[in-house]
Amino acid sequence: MSFEIKRWDGLGKIANFQVNGKKMETPALFPVVHPVLQSISAKRLKDEFGFNQIITSAYLLKKKIDQGIEVKSIHSFLEFDGIIMMDSGAYQLMVYGDVELDQEGSMELQRKVGADIGVILDHPIGYNVSYIEARKRVETTIERVKDAISQMKDEDPIWTFPIQGGRYEELIEEYLEKCGTEDNLTNFGFFALGSVVQVMINQDYETMVKMITTARKMMPVEKPFHLFGAGHPAMFALAVFLGCDTFDSAAYSLMANDDRYMTSQRTYKLGELKTLPCVCPVCNGRTIEDLQKIKKEKRKTLLAEHNLWVSVEEIKRIKLAIERGNLWDLVWLRANSVPNLGRATKLAIQLYMEDPKFREIIIQGTPISKPYALNVFSPHDLMRPEILRVKGWVKEYLGTVDIKNPIIVFFEFGKSSFRKLPDLLLKEVPSEVVQRLFIFSPIFGVFPFGISESYPLSQNTSELTYNEISVADIREQIRKFQGKITIIKPISIKKDVIESLFNGYEFEIIESDKPGTMIVNLQSIDSRYSQN
């Protein structure tokens, strides 16, 4: 097995995953495929929809084998030559209680039929399970991990390390502290968060965020991380932002059974629609009336196909966002798509801001430079990793130097600024003065002129007003300044904006229609303080 990361954007990453000579690119969706009853065959999933990975059930396969069906190879049985992941029967264990498949039998079955990725028989935790019962199931899973490791063989699939604790974050932490040791993890090539299906069914995306965040920050970020039972494609971007590389879903088929029609924004009952807002092969050339006239079973298949196309499109859109470095924008675009997702997105950003460890791994995964300008459309964009990184640079710099009598240049808001300060304007200015030269940005606050060409300080666009900037952050930056502050600003910026930022400091305002040209007069400005 190999997992080669090609590009990061925070914890979202495009990577090549390879096992047994078969490849997939993450982020990736594993469509859930019933071993026998398939609305869309596994072969079609690959040939027509482009999925080189699926997941199927060891429990359901065993039931068919017990009925006399011979299965020598799961790949030949399903006519699928891509990556096949098999779950262990644990979901059925959660739903139905005890099942006729134990740990040894599940592992042997997955081994025998040649699964590429296997899952040990953990004990999932339902949505309404009490804390006491959840703790018992965590303890059971810990024992099963130990038991599974003792049964592993060289010819085995890549085994998945299940992460349990349900909606109880402290149990996830306790489980990983006890079970997620380096010695244990070396036996597994895949890592997966379980007990999510019923959370998704209840659209409790806030709990999903807490579960993913708790697990992701305690697991190696360079290893593939799977989310069992992801649902609507609207939440895929948020899951990837939080560090999920792969996920499986049966929603495409389950929703089709109930005449539900997916879009990347929401799900509609077929009867609600007057128009089919899609150009996939199912919808293109059909009217809503055409689709409603088709017999139920055929319509279910067509709706499942449409729902899959929507999922395929969303995965591609997420990959494009990672390539361009704007996954953050896509996450917020999707935030109000389905009920409760907006609150969950805000919670995710809150956790990212409040948890130093989680924030640091996201900032570390954010490229130091990106091929496109940074977009800042609303106050929540001020929390982007790229912006926090710059503020960290400035804080570190101001903590190591004494800045006396700084000169701060303001520019008109919303226009390209820093290219107006070419080095030629400063060639006659003493270096000691240049070291005191700062640029003001509503996005980044104040920062030394010396880093003004670094990404994204001179590669950004913004629609913020001065009422939306973080005054507290800026005042924290200028707290280190000593002496009198000279402020060069365009006439269009009101003086009360300056006064609100620099209240309590000694400062002088110099107005100019072209603040950049004032740089040539830095020597005359500086002479007024030469005797200080």
Return the bridge partners of 227, or none. 193, 247
Return the bridge partners of 403, or none. 481
Paired tokens of 9:
């954007």
Query: What are the b/e assignments for 76-98, b being 16+ CB within 10 Å?
Result: ebbebebbbbbbbbbbbbbeeee
Paired tokens of 514:
């072209």
Q: Which of 509, 500, 479 is nearest to 410 (CA)?
A: 509
- 33 SS3 class: coil
Any residues with CB less than 8 A from the CB of 84 and at least 6 apart, and which?
53, 54, 55, 56, 74, 75, 78, 115, 116, 117
Q: Which of 20, 7, 52, 16 is nearest to 224 (CA)?
A: 16
Paired tokens of 57:
């059930």
CA distance linking residue 309 with residue 275, whole number of Å: 17
CA distance linking residue 56 with residue 32, whole number of Å: 6
Given the residues 9, 87, 116, 122, the one annotated as active site = 87
Q: DSSP class of residue 260?
A: E
216: left (phi over 0), alpha (psi -120 to 50) or beta: alpha
154 is catalytic: no
By residue count, the chain amounts to 532
Give the DSSP letter string of 281-304.
TTTTT--HHHHHHS-HHHHHHHHH
| CA distance readout (Å), 313 to 291, 309, 317, 450, 530 | 21, 6, 6, 43, 63
Residue 309 CB-half CA count within 13 A: 16
CA distance linking residue 308 with residue 298, whole number of Å: 15
Q: Which of 445, 239, 436 is nearest to 345 (CA)?
A: 239
Residue carrying the six token digits 């200015």: 429
Helix (H) or strand (E) holding 220: none
Any residues with CB less than 8 A from the CB of 244 and at least 6 apart, and which?
27, 193, 212, 216, 225, 226, 227, 230
Return the bridge partners of 489, or none. 511
Question: How, if at all, do strands 2-9 and 12-19 pair?
Answer: antiparallel
184: left (phi over 0), alpha (psi -120 to 50) or beta: alpha
Provide the annotated active-site residues: 87
